[in-house]
């Protein structure tokens, strides 16, 4: 009997849900946060990205204007096949309009193709590969936060200028690592430096001692870490054990996040140079958002630039669909509208979106503080340089994006 009642209730609920969705069809939006919820990158995106998306929905005030906005999230486990299957189901069955986060370059490139095929929208805030706005650019994708070209351009150039003219790369052996190594090597060569060797390690390696010994034996001035997350923190920690820095070589974290620095502790991380496009303590706007964010995080973490990007990207997306008067459920149209409007939010400041899908904003070169200079947890960065947006990313003249030929 109870079973029958609950089945009836469920049926009613489903029918009600379906009818209400049908009524508000052009004012309904479904956001899919596709990210690593359980693996080595889950602190960089994960639950924090879902929270950022929810905050963007709440702050937009669209619900009060009759919009119905849902946020759903799934774990892609850093596997492109799982990601594509989930994304396909989201588009076909769950009617997801827009994908955010989508960290991991391998995953991002795979989902990029699918979203283009299905005419959805992707605001990629997590993946690093600059191919998303170069050879693989798509009219349905915006690459929001950072990319390998920008990282190489900022951190790489600064280090070569400071005298680090011979490089040895320690590269994560997948799309992201290859792209970061390629873009950084290009900058090193262009600035008059030399790459004397490279070693590629599998993603998610626990022990780097073999690779570090090879880097040490190369006698390169700079050991460039073209990896991310747990791989980078393990490399840095073990490099200090093997006396890499004490022996006169310098470590270059080509992609380091605030969460990595937090996990390493300042004692180990101090003095590292790194580039980010968002830091919680940049200005009043970033501080206000980060305070609200960290209060709602289980471990009280400050937002990473990936999570901040989810918020910022959605704020702009909401502006665009509101200006269109409703959700046309047509990815290309929405992205075109987004590109035609200047971006402005408290997290990344004023910016634009280029025709190749590249979001333009400044890049900040930071140095990790000494433990004595830090006021407490999360007070980690000292700003040492800012690259204006127009110079930070790959210029359109060097881009191979097919969208430019139109």
Partner 1 sequence: MQALYAQLLVGLINGSFYALLSLGLAVIFGMLNIINFAHGAVYMMGAFCAYFLLNVMGIGYWPALIIAPIAVGIFGMILERTMLQWLAGLDHLYGLLLTFGMALIIQGIFQNYFGSSGLPYAIPDELRGGMNLGFMFLPIYRGWVVVFSLIVCIATWYLIEKTRLGANLRAATENPTLVRAFGINVPRMITLTYGLGVGLAALAGVLSAPINQVRPLMGADLIIVVFAVVVIGGMGSIMGSIITGFALGVIEGLTKYFYPEASNTVVFVLMVLVLLVKPTGLTGRATT
How many residues in the shown chain lie near partner 1 by CB under 8 A?
44
- What is the SS3 assignment for 235? helix
Q: Which of 105, 115, 112 is nearest to 149 (CA)?
A: 105
Q: Indicate the residue among 170 and 360 with the shorter CB distance to partner 1.
A: 170
Q: Tell which phi-psi region holds residue 278, choosing left (phi > 0), alpha (psi between -120 and 50) or beta.
A: beta
Q: Which of 112, 124, 140, 233 binds partner 1 (CB under 8 A)?
A: 233
Q: Which of 198, 175, 199, 172 is nearest to 185 (CA)?
A: 198
* Residue 43 interacting with partner 1 (CB under 8 A): yes
Q: Rg of the chain's alpha carbons, rounded to an integer?
A: 22
Q: Which of 53, 56, 57 is nearest to 73 (CA)?
A: 53
Contact pattern from residue 159 through residue 178 relative to partner 1, giving x for each residue in contact according to CB under 8 A and a dash for the rest: --------------x-----
Pairing type for strands 68-75 and 28-35 reads parallel
Q: How far is the CB of 298 from partner 1 (least distance, A)?
A: 7
Q: Which of 156, 177, 230, 357 binds partner 1 (CB under 8 A)?
A: 230
Q: Which of 84, 113, 197, 242 binds partner 1 (CB under 8 A)?
A: 242
How many other C-beta atoms lie within 10 A of the C-beta of residue 182?
Answer: 18
Q: Indicate the residue among 153 and 234 with the shorter CB distance to partner 1.
A: 234
How many other C-beta atoms lie within 10 A of the C-beta of residue 317?
Answer: 24
Q: How far is the CB of 57 from partner 1 (least distance, A)?
A: 24
User: 307 is written with which tokens?
Assistant: 């999570």
* Residue 85 interacting with partner 1 (CB under 8 A): no
Contact pattern from residue 292 through residue 311 relative to partner 1, giving x for each residue in contact according to CB under 8 A and a dash for the rest: ------xx-x----------
The owner of tokens 């005030």 is: 61
Question: Cβ distance 172 to 147 under 8 Å?
Answer: no
Q: Indicate the residue among 163 and 377 with the shorter CB distance to partner 1.
A: 377
**Distance of alpha carbon 128 from alpha carbon 145, whole angstroms:** 9
Question: Cβ distance 211 to 170 under 8 Å?
Answer: yes
User: 213 is written with which tokens?
Assistant: 């010994």
* Residue 199 interacting with partner 1 (CB under 8 A): yes
Q: Distance of alpha carbon 278 from its chain centroid, rounded?
A: 11
Give the binding range for partner 1 (CB under 8 A) out of 33-41, 128-136, 138-146, 248-256: 33-41
Q: Indicate the residue among 91 and 368 with the shorter CB distance to partner 1.
A: 368
Q: How far is the CB of 13 from partner 1 (least distance, A)?
A: 29
Q: Which of 85, 166, 191, 216 binds partner 1 (CB under 8 A)?
A: 216
- What is the SS3 assignment for 124? strand
Q: Indicate the residue among 211 and 364 with the shorter CB distance to partner 1.
A: 211
**Distance of alpha carbon 254 from alpha carbon 251, whole angstroms:** 9
Q: Which of 10, 162, 217, 396 binds partner 1 (CB under 8 A)?
A: 217
Q: Indicate the residue among 133 and 304 with the shorter CB distance to partner 1.
A: 304
Q: How far is the CB of 70 from partner 1 (least distance, A)?
A: 24
**Distance of alpha carbon 115 from alpha carbon 131, whole angstroms:** 16
Question: Cβ distance 214 to 121 under 8 Å?
Answer: no
How many other C-beta atoms lie within 10 A of the C-beta of residue 84?
Answer: 17
Q: Which of 71, 100, 268, 315 binds partner 1 (CB under 8 A)?
A: 268
| Binding to partner 1 in span 246-265, by CB under 8 A | 247, 259-260, 262-265
Q: How far is the CB of 211 from partner 1 (least distance, A)?
A: 7
**Distance of alpha carbon 364 from alpha carbon 255, whole angstroms:** 13
Question: Cβ distance 266 to 371 under 8 Å?
Answer: yes
* Residue 388 interacting with partner 1 (CB under 8 A): no
Q: Distance of alpha carbon 205 from its chain centroid, rounded?
A: 21
Q: How far is the CB of 95 from partner 1 (least distance, A)?
A: 30
Q: How far is the CB of 91 from partner 1 (least distance, A)?
A: 28
Q: Indicate the residue among 132 and 203 with the shorter CB distance to partner 1.
A: 203
* Residue 202 interacting with partner 1 (CB under 8 A): yes
Q: Indicate the residue among 8 and 217 with the shorter CB distance to partner 1.
A: 217
- List interacting residues with partner 1 (CB under 8 A): 38-43, 46, 173, 199-202, 204-207, 209-211, 213-214, 216-217, 229-230, 233-234, 237-238, 241-243, 247, 259-260, 262-265, 267-268, 298-299, 301
């Amino acid at each position: 009997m109870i079973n029958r009642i609950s089945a009836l209730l469920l049926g009613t609920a489903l029918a009600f849900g379906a009818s209400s969705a049908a009524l508000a069809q052009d004012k309904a939006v479904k956001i899919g946060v596709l990210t690593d919820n359980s693996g080595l990158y889950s602190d960089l995106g994960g639950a924090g990205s879902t929270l950022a998306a929810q905050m963007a929905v709440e702050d937009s005030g669209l619900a009060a204007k009759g919009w119905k906005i849902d946020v759903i999230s799934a774990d892609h486990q850093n596997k492109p096949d799982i990601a594509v299957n989930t994304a396909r189901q989201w588009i076909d069955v769950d009617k997801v309009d827009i994908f955010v986060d989508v960290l991991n370059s391998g995953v991002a490139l795979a989902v990029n193709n699918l979203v283009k095929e299905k005419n959805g929208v992707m605001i990629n805030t997590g993946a690093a590969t600059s191919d998303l706005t170069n050879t693989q650019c798509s009219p349905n994708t915006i690459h929001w936060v950072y990319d390998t070209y920008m990282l190489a351009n900022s951190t790489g150039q600064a280090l070569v200028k400071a005298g680090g003219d011979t490089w040895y790369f320690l590269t994560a052996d997948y799309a992201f690592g290859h792209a970061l190594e390629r873009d950084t090597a290009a900058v090193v060569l262009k600035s008059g430096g030399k790459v004397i060797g490279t070693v590629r390690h599998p993603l998610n390696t626990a022990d780097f001692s073999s690779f570090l010994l090879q880097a040490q034996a190369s006698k390169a001035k700079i050991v460039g870490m073209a990896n991310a997350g747990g791989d980078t923190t393990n490399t840095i920690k073990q490099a200090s054990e093997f006396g890499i820095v004490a022996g006169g070589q310098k470590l270059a974290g080509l992609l380091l996040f605030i969460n990595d620095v937090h996990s390493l502790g300042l004692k180990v991380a101090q003095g590292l140079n790194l580039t980010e496009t968002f830091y919680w303590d940049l200005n009043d706007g970033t501080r206000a958002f980060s305070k609200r964010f960290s209060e709602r995080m289980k471990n009280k973490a400050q937002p990473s630039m990936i999570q901040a990007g989810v918020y910022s990207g959605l704020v702009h997306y909401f502006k665009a669909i509101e200006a269109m008067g409703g959700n046309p459920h047509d990815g290309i149209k929405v992205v075109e509208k987004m590109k035609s409007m200047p971006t402005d939010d408290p997290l990344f400041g004023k910016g634009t979106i280029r025709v190749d899908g590249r979001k333009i904003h400044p890049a900040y070169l930071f140095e990790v503080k000494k433990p004595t200079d830090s006021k407490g947890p999360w007070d980690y960065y000292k700003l040492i340089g800012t690259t204006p947006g127009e110079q930070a990313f790959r210029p359109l003249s060097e881009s191979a994006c097919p969208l430019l030929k139109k």
